[in-house]
Amino acid sequence: MSDPRSVKRVPELVSIIIPVYNGLPDLDEQLAGLAEQDYTGPFEVLVSDNGSKDGLREHIAGHPLTEKLRMRYVDSSAKQGAPYARNHAATFAGGDFFAFVDQDDRVYPHWLRTIVDVAADFDAVGGSIEADTLNDRESGAWRPVPTPQEGFGTHWLPFANGNNTSYWREAFEKIGGYDEDLIIGGDDVDITWRLQLAGLKFGHAPDALIAYRLRRTPREAWGQSIGYGYGYAQVVIKHRAAGCPRLPVQALLSTLLVAIGCGPWNPFIRKRVPQGLWIMHTAGLIGRMKASFAYRTYTG
Protein backbone atom coordinates (compact mmCIF):
# COMPACT_ATOMS: atom_id res chain seq x y z
CA MET A 1 0.00 0.00 0.00
CA SER A 2 1.48 3.33 -1.03
CA ASP A 3 2.12 6.13 1.43
CA PRO A 4 -0.48 8.89 0.74
CA ARG A 5 2.18 11.47 1.54
CA SER A 6 4.14 10.32 -1.51
CA VAL A 7 1.26 11.03 -3.90
CA LYS A 8 1.84 14.30 -5.73
CA ARG A 9 -0.93 16.85 -5.38
CA VAL A 10 -2.40 17.66 -8.78
CA PRO A 11 -5.36 19.98 -9.52
CA GLU A 12 -8.52 18.45 -10.92
CA LEU A 13 -9.07 21.70 -12.82
CA VAL A 14 -7.05 24.93 -12.99
CA SER A 15 -9.01 28.17 -13.24
CA ILE A 16 -6.95 30.93 -14.85
CA ILE A 17 -8.42 34.30 -13.91
CA ILE A 18 -7.69 37.53 -15.81
CA PRO A 19 -9.03 40.84 -14.44
CA VAL A 20 -9.61 43.13 -17.42
CA TYR A 21 -10.37 46.81 -17.82
CA ASN A 22 -10.16 48.21 -21.37
CA GLY A 23 -7.54 45.58 -22.11
CA LEU A 24 -7.85 45.25 -25.88
CA PRO A 25 -5.84 44.53 -27.96
CA ASP A 26 -3.16 43.45 -25.46
CA LEU A 27 -5.46 40.81 -23.97
CA ASP A 28 -5.32 38.81 -27.19
CA GLU A 29 -1.57 38.36 -26.79
CA GLN A 30 -2.09 36.94 -23.32
CA LEU A 31 -4.79 34.59 -24.59
CA ALA A 32 -2.50 33.45 -27.40
CA GLY A 33 0.14 32.63 -24.82
CA LEU A 34 -2.35 30.62 -22.78
CA ALA A 35 -3.31 28.68 -25.90
CA GLU A 36 0.33 27.59 -26.28
CA GLN A 37 0.66 26.01 -22.83
CA ASP A 38 2.31 22.60 -22.70
CA TYR A 39 0.40 21.69 -19.54
CA THR A 40 -1.49 18.45 -20.15
CA GLY A 41 -4.09 18.80 -17.42
CA PRO A 42 -7.48 20.52 -17.80
CA PHE A 43 -7.80 24.27 -17.34
CA GLU A 44 -10.31 27.02 -17.98
CA VAL A 45 -9.92 30.77 -18.51
CA LEU A 46 -12.19 33.34 -16.90
CA VAL A 47 -12.07 36.86 -18.34
CA SER A 48 -13.28 39.10 -15.52
CA ASP A 49 -14.56 42.37 -17.01
CA ASN A 50 -14.18 45.24 -14.53
CA GLY A 51 -16.31 47.68 -16.53
CA SER A 52 -14.53 47.84 -19.89
CA LYS A 53 -15.76 50.29 -22.54
CA ASP A 54 -13.94 48.74 -25.49
CA GLY A 55 -16.41 46.01 -26.47
CA LEU A 56 -14.80 43.26 -24.42
CA ARG A 57 -17.98 41.22 -23.96
CA GLU A 58 -18.62 41.00 -27.69
CA HIS A 59 -14.94 40.35 -28.37
CA ILE A 60 -14.86 37.35 -26.05
CA ALA A 61 -18.21 36.06 -27.33
CA GLY A 62 -16.78 35.65 -30.82
CA HIS A 63 -13.20 34.80 -29.90
CA PRO A 64 -11.56 31.97 -31.89
CA LEU A 65 -9.85 30.58 -28.77
CA THR A 66 -13.02 30.25 -26.69
CA GLU A 67 -13.34 26.49 -27.09
CA LYS A 68 -9.63 25.70 -26.82
CA LEU A 69 -9.26 27.72 -23.61
CA ARG A 70 -12.68 26.80 -22.19
CA MET A 71 -13.01 30.56 -21.88
CA ARG A 72 -15.85 32.29 -20.06
CA TYR A 73 -16.78 35.94 -19.68
CA VAL A 74 -17.59 37.19 -16.17
CA ASP A 75 -19.23 40.58 -15.57
CA SER A 76 -17.29 42.08 -12.66
CA SER A 77 -18.33 45.69 -13.15
CA ALA A 78 -20.17 46.15 -9.84
CA LYS A 79 -17.08 47.45 -8.02
CA GLN A 80 -13.94 49.12 -9.27
CA GLY A 81 -10.57 47.47 -8.94
CA ALA A 82 -8.62 44.37 -9.87
CA PRO A 83 -9.01 42.84 -6.37
CA TYR A 84 -12.79 42.74 -6.77
CA ALA A 85 -12.51 41.46 -10.35
CA ARG A 86 -10.31 38.60 -9.17
CA ASN A 87 -12.48 37.72 -6.18
CA HIS A 88 -15.74 37.90 -8.13
CA ALA A 89 -14.47 35.68 -10.94
CA ALA A 90 -13.19 33.17 -8.38
CA THR A 91 -16.77 32.59 -7.21
CA PHE A 92 -17.63 31.43 -10.75
CA ALA A 93 -14.52 29.30 -11.15
CA GLY A 94 -14.88 25.54 -11.35
CA GLY A 95 -11.29 24.73 -10.45
CA ASP A 96 -9.64 23.70 -7.21
CA PHE A 97 -6.57 25.74 -8.16
CA PHE A 98 -6.58 29.45 -9.12
CA ALA A 99 -3.90 31.02 -11.32
CA PHE A 100 -4.02 34.81 -11.68
CA VAL A 101 -2.47 36.70 -14.59
CA ASP A 102 -2.92 40.20 -16.03
CA GLN A 103 -4.46 41.42 -19.27
CA ASP A 104 -1.37 42.97 -20.87
CA ASP A 105 1.38 40.38 -20.32
CA ARG A 106 2.18 37.06 -21.99
CA VAL A 107 2.77 33.72 -20.31
CA TYR A 108 5.60 31.47 -21.46
CA PRO A 109 4.56 28.05 -22.87
CA HIS A 110 5.81 26.16 -19.79
CA TRP A 111 4.32 28.63 -17.28
CA LEU A 112 1.29 26.65 -16.09
CA ARG A 113 3.05 23.29 -16.02
CA THR A 114 5.78 24.75 -13.83
CA ILE A 115 3.37 26.54 -11.49
CA VAL A 116 1.34 23.39 -10.91
CA ASP A 117 4.44 21.28 -10.36
CA VAL A 118 5.82 23.60 -7.66
CA ALA A 119 2.39 24.12 -6.07
CA ALA A 120 2.26 20.46 -5.10
CA ASP A 121 4.28 21.41 -2.01
CA PHE A 122 2.74 24.80 -1.20
CA ASP A 123 -0.56 26.56 -0.56
CA ALA A 124 0.33 29.40 -2.92
CA VAL A 125 3.06 30.00 -5.49
CA GLY A 126 4.49 33.07 -7.16
CA GLY A 127 6.23 32.98 -10.52
CA SER A 128 8.80 35.21 -12.22
CA ILE A 129 8.66 38.02 -14.77
CA GLU A 130 10.97 39.44 -17.41
CA ALA A 131 10.71 42.88 -19.00
CA ASP A 132 12.68 42.38 -22.23
CA THR A 133 10.27 40.63 -24.61
CA LEU A 134 7.36 43.09 -24.65
CA ASN A 135 9.27 46.36 -24.15
CA ASP A 136 11.87 48.42 -25.95
CA ARG A 137 15.43 48.55 -24.63
CA GLU A 138 15.04 52.01 -23.06
CA SER A 139 11.95 51.06 -21.06
CA GLY A 140 13.47 47.80 -19.90
CA ALA A 141 16.54 49.62 -18.61
CA TRP A 142 14.70 51.87 -16.17
CA ARG A 143 12.45 49.26 -14.59
CA PRO A 144 14.73 46.53 -13.28
CA VAL A 145 12.97 43.33 -12.25
CA PRO A 146 14.30 40.58 -10.01
CA THR A 147 15.96 37.60 -11.63
CA PRO A 148 13.85 34.43 -11.63
CA GLN A 149 15.97 32.99 -8.82
CA GLU A 150 15.61 36.08 -6.61
CA GLY A 151 11.83 36.21 -6.42
CA PHE A 152 10.04 39.22 -4.99
CA GLY A 153 11.04 40.58 -1.62
CA THR A 154 9.96 43.47 0.58
CA HIS A 155 11.41 44.99 3.72
CA TRP A 156 9.43 42.39 5.71
CA LEU A 157 7.98 39.24 4.09
CA PRO A 158 8.31 37.94 0.51
CA PHE A 159 5.38 38.28 -1.87
CA ALA A 160 4.15 37.21 -5.28
CA ASN A 161 3.63 39.73 -8.06
CA GLY A 162 -0.10 40.03 -8.78
CA ASN A 163 0.34 39.21 -12.47
CA ASN A 164 1.82 35.78 -11.72
CA THR A 165 0.45 34.23 -8.56
CA SER A 166 -1.53 31.05 -7.87
CA TYR A 167 -3.46 29.59 -4.94
CA TRP A 168 -5.11 26.35 -4.06
CA ARG A 169 -8.77 27.24 -3.77
CA GLU A 170 -9.06 26.20 -0.13
CA ALA A 171 -6.14 28.45 0.84
CA PHE A 172 -7.51 31.39 -1.17
CA GLU A 173 -10.91 31.07 0.49
CA LYS A 174 -9.40 30.57 3.94
CA ILE A 175 -7.69 33.97 3.85
CA GLY A 176 -10.66 35.71 2.25
CA GLY A 177 -9.18 36.43 -1.17
CA TYR A 178 -7.92 39.87 -2.14
CA ASP A 179 -8.57 42.99 -0.06
CA GLU A 180 -10.99 44.92 -2.27
CA ASP A 181 -10.17 48.22 -0.56
CA LEU A 182 -6.64 48.15 -1.99
CA ILE A 183 -7.62 49.30 -5.48
CA ILE A 184 -4.58 51.51 -6.12
CA GLY A 185 -1.87 48.97 -5.42
CA GLY A 186 -0.39 46.69 -2.80
CA ASP A 187 -3.12 44.05 -3.02
CA ASP A 188 -0.62 41.43 -4.18
CA VAL A 189 1.71 42.16 -1.25
CA ASP A 190 -1.17 42.10 1.21
CA ILE A 191 -2.66 38.76 0.20
CA THR A 192 0.67 36.93 0.24
CA TRP A 193 1.55 38.45 3.61
CA ARG A 194 -1.83 37.37 5.01
CA LEU A 195 -1.29 33.88 3.65
CA GLN A 196 2.03 33.57 5.47
CA LEU A 197 0.67 35.12 8.67
CA ALA A 198 -2.11 32.51 8.60
CA GLY A 199 0.54 29.79 8.76
CA LEU A 200 0.13 28.66 5.15
CA LYS A 201 3.06 27.78 2.89
CA PHE A 202 4.16 30.21 0.21
CA GLY A 203 6.56 29.09 -2.52
CA HIS A 204 8.40 30.53 -5.49
CA ALA A 205 8.55 29.00 -8.96
CA PRO A 206 11.52 30.65 -10.70
CA ASP A 207 10.87 28.93 -14.04
CA ALA A 208 7.18 29.92 -14.22
CA LEU A 209 7.95 32.91 -16.39
CA ILE A 210 5.73 35.69 -17.73
CA ALA A 211 6.72 38.48 -20.13
CA TYR A 212 5.77 41.70 -18.34
CA ARG A 213 4.60 44.78 -20.21
CA LEU A 214 5.79 48.10 -18.79
CA ARG A 215 3.80 51.32 -19.00
CA ARG A 216 4.27 52.86 -22.42
CA THR A 217 4.61 56.58 -21.53
CA PRO A 218 6.25 58.58 -18.72
CA ARG A 219 2.81 59.82 -17.65
CA GLU A 220 1.50 56.26 -17.32
CA ALA A 221 4.64 55.19 -15.45
CA TRP A 222 4.31 58.17 -13.09
CA GLY A 223 0.71 57.30 -12.21
CA GLN A 224 1.50 53.62 -11.74
CA SER A 225 4.47 54.35 -9.47
CA ILE A 226 2.44 56.71 -7.30
CA GLY A 227 -0.17 53.98 -6.96
CA TYR A 228 2.46 51.40 -6.03
CA GLY A 229 3.93 53.71 -3.41
CA TYR A 230 0.54 54.58 -1.93
CA GLY A 231 -0.66 50.98 -1.93
CA TYR A 232 2.51 49.65 -0.34
CA ALA A 233 2.24 52.24 2.43
CA GLN A 234 -1.38 51.18 3.00
CA VAL A 235 -0.26 47.57 3.40
CA VAL A 236 2.52 48.52 5.82
CA ILE A 237 -0.01 50.41 7.95
CA LYS A 238 -2.51 47.56 7.77
CA HIS A 239 0.02 45.00 9.02
CA ARG A 240 1.66 47.16 11.68
CA ALA A 241 -0.12 45.27 14.47
CA ALA A 242 1.20 41.98 13.08
CA GLY A 243 4.77 43.21 13.41
CA CYS A 244 5.42 44.87 10.06
CA PRO A 245 8.08 47.56 10.63
CA ARG A 246 8.17 50.96 9.01
CA LEU A 247 10.27 51.23 5.89
CA PRO A 248 13.96 51.69 6.81
CA VAL A 249 15.16 55.28 7.08
CA GLN A 250 18.07 54.40 4.78
CA ALA A 251 15.60 53.53 2.02
CA LEU A 252 13.85 56.88 2.46
CA LEU A 253 17.13 58.79 2.34
CA SER A 254 18.39 56.99 -0.75
CA THR A 255 15.10 57.62 -2.56
CA LEU A 256 15.21 61.30 -1.60
CA LEU A 257 18.74 61.49 -2.97
CA VAL A 258 17.61 60.08 -6.31
CA ALA A 259 14.51 62.30 -6.42
CA ILE A 260 16.39 65.51 -5.70
CA GLY A 261 19.74 64.85 -7.31
CA CYS A 262 18.66 63.10 -10.51
CA GLY A 263 15.71 65.24 -11.57
CA PRO A 264 15.26 67.03 -14.91
CA TRP A 265 16.85 70.16 -13.40
CA ASN A 266 20.23 68.40 -13.21
CA PRO A 267 21.38 67.88 -16.82
CA PHE A 268 24.73 66.36 -15.86
CA ILE A 269 23.28 63.52 -13.81
CA ARG A 270 20.22 63.25 -16.03
CA LYS A 271 22.33 61.97 -18.91
CA ARG A 272 23.38 59.00 -16.80
CA VAL A 273 20.08 58.23 -15.06
CA PRO A 274 17.16 57.10 -17.27
CA GLN A 275 14.04 59.24 -16.95
CA GLY A 276 11.93 56.24 -16.09
CA LEU A 277 14.17 55.26 -13.18
CA TRP A 278 13.81 58.75 -11.73
CA ILE A 279 10.04 58.58 -12.24
CA MET A 280 9.78 55.20 -10.51
CA HIS A 281 11.63 56.30 -7.38
CA THR A 282 10.23 59.84 -7.15
CA ALA A 283 6.60 58.95 -7.84
CA GLY A 284 6.81 55.98 -5.47
CA LEU A 285 8.06 58.29 -2.73
CA ILE A 286 5.23 60.74 -3.41
CA GLY A 287 2.73 57.89 -3.18
CA ARG A 288 4.09 56.81 0.21
CA MET A 289 4.01 60.41 1.44
CA LYS A 290 0.38 60.79 0.32
CA ALA A 291 -0.58 57.67 2.24
CA SER A 292 1.30 58.87 5.32
CA PHE A 293 -0.65 62.13 5.26
CA ALA A 294 -3.95 60.38 4.54
CA TYR A 295 -3.54 57.96 7.46
CA ARG A 296 -1.66 60.45 9.65
CA THR A 297 1.17 58.06 10.33
CA TYR A 298 4.75 57.75 9.09
CA THR A 299 5.39 54.72 6.89
CA GLY A 300 8.82 55.57 5.49
Given 211, 240, 263, which residue is the final one in a domain? 211
Q: Name which residue leads in pLDDT, 67 or 290.
A: 67
Q: Residues 190, 231: one domain?
A: no
Q: Residues 100, 123: one domain?
A: yes
86-115 per-position pLDDT tens digit: 999 999 999 999 999 999 999 999 999 999
> What pLDDT is stored for residue 30 in this prediction?
99
**Residue 241, phi then psi, degrees to nearest 5:** -65, -25
The Cα–Cα gap between 42 and 65 comes to 15
Q: Residues 58, 195: one domain?
A: yes
Cβ contact 107:30 at 8 Å: yes
76 within some domain: yes
114 within some domain: yes
Q: Residues 202, 225: one domain?
A: no
Q: Residues 199, 98: one domain?
A: yes
Q: Residues 254, 145: one domain?
A: no
Q: Residues 230, 206: one domain?
A: no
300 within some domain: no
User: The CATH number of the domain where 85 resides is what?
Assistant: 3.90.550.10
When pLDDT is cut at 50, 70 and 90, the band that residue 76 belongs to is: very high
119 within some domain: yes
Q: Residues 154, 249: one domain?
A: no
Give exposure, 119-133, as e/b (b: 16+ Cβ within 10 Å). beebbbbbbbbbbee
| Residue 106 neighbours by CB distance under 10 Å | 22
Q: Residues 141, 258: one domain?
A: no
Of the ranges 171-175, 247-251, 259-263, 276-280, the best mean pLDDT one: 171-175
Q: Residues 187, 272: one domain?
A: no
Given 177, 211, 245, which residue is the final one in a domain? 211
In the chain, alpha helices (H):
26-35, 56-61, 66-69, 82-92, 111-119, 137-142, 169-174, 187-197, 218-238, 249-261, 267-270, 275-295
Given 189, 211, 233, which residue is the final one in a domain? 211
254 within some domain: yes
30 within some domain: yes
Supply the range of the domain harboring residue 180. 4-211
Q: Residues 17, 147: one domain?
A: yes
Q: Residues 118, 229: one domain?
A: no
Counting the structural domains of the chain, the total is: 2
User: Could you tell me which residues are beta bridge partners of residue 166?
Assistant: 99, 125
> What pLDDT is stored for residue 216 in this prediction?
73
Mean pLDDT of 11-16: 99
20-49 per-position pLDDT tens digit: 999 999 999 999 999 999 999 999 999 999
The whole-angstrom distance between residue 235's C-alpha and the CA centroid of its chain comes to 15
